[in-house]
Amino acid sequence: MQAITSEPGIMQLSRDEGRAMLDERTRRVLGMTLEEFEAAYDAGTLDLTRSDVIGLTILLPFARP
Amino acid sequence: MTTAVLLVSQEHGGSEAFTISEDPLRLRSARLSADVHLQLQHQYQLVREKARRSWHASTAAYAYTLTSSGRELAAWHWHPASGVAYPHVHVTGAVLDHRVHVPTGRVSIESVLRMLIGDFGVAPLRDDWDDVLAKTERDFIEHRRWHA
């Protein structure tokens, strides 16, 4: 994790840190590992009517290009 | 209103994202008898402007969600890649439920924060919060490429 500007309060995560952060959230919110979440997203099986699921898909750039 | 930080994804030339380090962010509301919780997820792309030789951030999707006592109060969404193409809000009311996508214009993060401070009584940590929000929101309004 590193600061990317001189302005306080903005931290950039490495890929590994980003995956760890997102894994914690997918486990806590959906009871799924990040890998399971990514697989479900790629398969089109996520429930995209849920705000919490939508939010997690928006954060996928933390996990992969 | 918080000491939590913004977490930004590592740049790799494609879509990027940012969120709040504390998830959900717990805020004390002077209006509600319980805390209000904010979740923020934002996806964008860095676009090079050839003529100006500069960059701008182009929003690709956002989700700003307010909950309290385990109940969703409102959620502002724009996620064109996931079914609903227009910006919208989900609210819980007598005839509205989460299945309804109430159309909105593009909603700025600043407007949600201003609502939390003004309407929910969340205490800002900075005395100049109004000026800070006005400045960053002005940049958003001046540079956005479209709005509903």
Q: What is the pLDDT of residue B86?
A: 84
Which structural domain range is residue A56 located in?
14-62
Q: Residue A58: which of B7, B42, B99 has the nearest Cβ?
A: B42
B84: CB partners within 8 A, 6+ apart: B77, B101
End-to-end CA distance of chain B: 29
Alpha-carbon gap, residue B112 to B97, rounded angstroms? 20
Within-domain flag for A1: no
Determine, yes or no, domain membership for A45: yes
B40-88 confidence digits (pLDDT tens): 999 999 888 777 778 788 899 999 999 988 888 899 999 988 778 889 9
In a domain, A54, yes or no: yes
| DSSP sequence for B73-99 | EEEEEE-GGGS--S-EEEE--SS--TT
Q: How far is B50 from chain A (nearest CA, A)?
A: 23
Contact list in B for residue A55 (CB cut-off 8 A) is 39, 41, 63, 65
User: For chain A, how many structural domains are there in total?
Assistant: 1
Tell me whether residue A31 is in a domain: yes
Nearest to B82 among A1, A48, A52 (CB): A48
B85 touches chain A (CB under 8 A): no
For residues B10 and B42, the answer to whether their CB atoms sit within 8 Å is no
Residue A35 lies in a domain: yes
Q: Does the beta-carbon distance from A56 to B41 stay under 8 Å?
A: yes
Of chain B, the percentage scoring pLDDT greater than 90 comes to 43
A5 assigned to some structural domain = no
pTM of the model: 0.83
The whole-angstrom separation of Cα B90 and Cα B72 is 9
- Distance in Å, alpha carbon of A10 to nearest chain B alpha carbon: 5
Q: How confident is the model over B10-29, as pLDDT tens digits?
A: 887 789 999 999 999 999 98
Reduced to 3 states (helix: H, G, I; strand: E, B; else coil), residue A2 is strand
pLDDT digits (tens, 9 = 90+) for A25-63: 999 999 999 999 999 999 999 999 888 999 999 999 999
**What pLDDT band is residue B148 in, cutting at 50, 70 and 90?**
low
**The predicted structure's pLDDT at residue B3:** 87
Measured distance CA(B42)–CA(A62) in Å, rounded: 11
The answer to whether residue A50 is domain-embedded is yes
Residue A41 lies in a domain: yes
A contact test, residue of B1, B10, B40 with most A CBs within 10 A: B10
